[in-house]
Amino acid sequence: MSTVSNDSLTLVPQAPPEGPGLAFDFPGVEIGVAEYQEGPTGCTVIRFAQTANLDIDRRGGAIGMVGDYGSVDAICLAGGSILGLEASAGVTTALSASRGHDTGFDTLPLVSGAIIYDFGYRENAIYPDKALGEATLAAAQPGWFPLGARGAGMSATVGNAAPLTVYGWETSGQGAAFRQFGETRILAISVVNALGGIFDRSGRIVRGFRNRETGERKPMADFMADRLAEDGAGPGNTTLTVIVTNQKFDGFVRQQMSRQIHNAMGRMIRPFHTIYDGDVLFLVSTGEVENPRVGPITLGEMAAETLWDAVLAAIPQD
């Protein structure tokens, strides 16, 4: 019997059910979420009213992304591993249609996309395709981000670096957080699907690396002997992150900030950027504000703290 896939079913994009979400105030930024419950897998799109400046920081040995541009009209995050990159094409063609299919060099839509591997713990090959990408863009709305096992994070997991006979993987999802400092806005979004576990600010592990019998969690370093005895990492990998700010910075500064913020994620998720991860961080500047009180180092730290809240918000409410 062949594996159930997009070719064997008639899939209908669904909006996420009502549930926890983040309300945020960022004019010109819209969030779209659509899902295939049959997977389960899904897609999350961040759409910008005006073309915005973009820098991308990529880490790990298993990166899957498209659209390495210096500017962007939308970002598409999706499940489905390499197959899910098709969803970005759907976002691109839908944006083109909204512009009257104008093929002028300066009017073609710029869409960047990245994927997580979310096939590990489901028995089908259903992935976010072009139709789901189109539906996700059509669902985009301002001011609301669905949290937990929604959109691109529907089948996300964490703690996959543990010896699986002792410490079980756990479900994860997508998270977001928003902060404002005067005129400067920061929206942080993360789809957390990591080999590592999630840590809070006290250094306590709060998701992943859970002992199946006792319920105890402990960092990977504490069970290295078990890991060496059974080198059994699970298949989940890749954390996708989007940082959006309205603060204006030039390209070199954005590049260094994206590295600063991505490095800081090593406090939140451990281990991180492994050979099995394909971690991608998109740093977007819509460029409306020049706030002299918020320099690049300060904003990088503010963004990292906002991102920590987003990573913690990705944990589903069991």
CA atoms within 13 A on the CB side of 195: 22
Residue 195: which residues within 8 A CB-CB, separation 6 or more?
Answer: 159, 160, 161, 233, 234, 236, 237, 271, 274, 276, 277
Examine the residue annotation and report whether 238 is marked as an active-site residue of this protein: yes
Alpha helices in the chain (DSSP H): 86-98, 130-138, 224-229, 251-264, 296-313
Which residue, 240, 65, 270, is CA-closest to 158? Answer: 270
CB distance 115 to 25 below 8 Å: no
Strands 279-289 and 41-59, by their bridges, are: antiparallel
The number of C-alpha atoms within 13 Å of 119 and in the hemisphere containing its C-beta is 15
Of 41, 44, 238, 306, the active-site residue reads 238
Three-state DSSP at 255 gives: helix
Neighbouring residues of 150: CB distance < 8 A, sequence distance ≥ 6? 16, 19, 33, 35, 42, 44, 173, 174
Task: Kindly calculate the radius of gyration of the chain based on its CA atoms and give it in whole angstroms.
Answer: 19
Residue 158 contacts residue 198 (beta carbons within 8 Å)? yes
The residues that are catalytic are 238
